[in-house]
Amino acid sequence: MPFIPDSEEQVARYSRHILLPEVGGKGQKKIGLAKVLIVGAGGLGSPAALYLAAAGVGTIGLIDGDVVDLSNLQRQVIHQTADIGRPKVESAKARILAINPGVAVDTYYTRLTAENALDIIGRYDIVLDGVDNFPAKFLINDACFFARKALVHGGILRFDGRVFTILPGKSACYRCVFKQPPPPGLVASCQEAGVIGALAGVIGTIQATEVLKLILDRGRLLTDRLLDYDARLTRFREIKIARNPKCPLCGEHPDITQLTEHEPEVCAVKTA
């Protein structure tokens, strides 16, 4: 539901936004008209969805093919114990509506694939990466490039997190840094590695802030610079990333000219 400036309830709900010169009634209206797709309703998607819903983002799309598992609850704060076994997109939708009934929530109880990615992403303005595996991260990066949608990338592992905002064709993309997924078994990626739960909150919330800045067209985005967070040392570091002329996707002579999917699953450092 778009923000209605003459509604007393709406003005009260968003008063702390409206007070900000960077937002105001005009900016809050923009937030209400925005459509944001959150890929993965997990560690990063949870805090991002909670804050974007509270902020009054008019339409939030959620895509995730999993159900809530007991082991998710340590960090996936949008879900609750009673949600175990329920599709994550449904559990997240219920929580979003409890916070802000004005948000329109679209749910896709499926995995993002090369077949559905452009269609789904095409319905939104901004995409937030909250997935837990490399094939999906590359797929999202590529799909956002082809669909020319702004992307806020996030990653977490153990005590380390990372955020990187991508304006396709304008700023460096994920493949400007990482050309392709790592070979299977070399890099710990998901279940087996472990992650400090609160780290997901830090990174997902920074991603949500980037989304709001994109909507408002205010501030300086995390484009062409990668934010690295070391929770062990409580240290943030910024790494400059230039567009790579040899990028296989957005470089001068791209090899990737259509959407394909890397083989799942790179997450092969199995413990079980």
Contact residues toward other proteins (CB under 8 A) are 40, 42-45, 72, 76, 129-134, 137, 154-157, 160-162, 176-179, 181-183, 186-187, 189-190, 193, 195, 200, 226, 237, 239-242, 244, 246, 266-267
CB of 60 to other proteins, least distance (A): 17
Instruction: Pick between residue 124 and residue 164 the one whose CB is nearest to other proteins.
Output: 164
Q: Is residue 187 within 8 Å of residue 259, measured between CB atoms?
A: no
Q: Cβ contacts of residue 13 below 8 Å, gap of 6+? A: 56, 100
CB of 248 to other proteins, least distance (A): 11
Q: Is residue 58 within 8 Å of residue 104, measured between CB atoms?
A: yes
Burial degree of 233 (CB within 10 A; 0-12, 13-18, 19+): exposed
Q: What is each CA distance from 257 to 145, 156, 164, 202, 249, in whole angstroms?
A: 10, 29, 23, 35, 7
Please give the sequence-ordered ranges of beta strands (E in DSSP) within the chain, or none if there are none: 35-39, 59-63, 104-108, 126-129, 150-157, 160-166, 225-230, 235-240
Instruction: Pick between residue 80 and residue 244 the one whose CB is nearest to other proteins.
Output: 244
Instruction: Pick between residue 158 and residue 170 the one whose CB is nearest to other proteins.
Output: 158
Instruction: Pick between residue 56 and residue 135 the one whose CB is nearest to other proteins.
Output: 135
CB of 33 to other proteins, least distance (A): 27
CB of 196 to other proteins, least distance (A): 11
The encoded tokens of residue 134 equal 């490399």
Instruction: Pick between residue 152 and residue 216 the one whose CB is nearest to other proteins.
Output: 152
Instruction: Pick between residue 125 and residue 265 the one whose CB is nearest to other proteins.
Output: 265
**What number of helices (H) and strands (E) belong to the chain?**
9, 8
CB of 110 to other proteins, least distance (A): 16
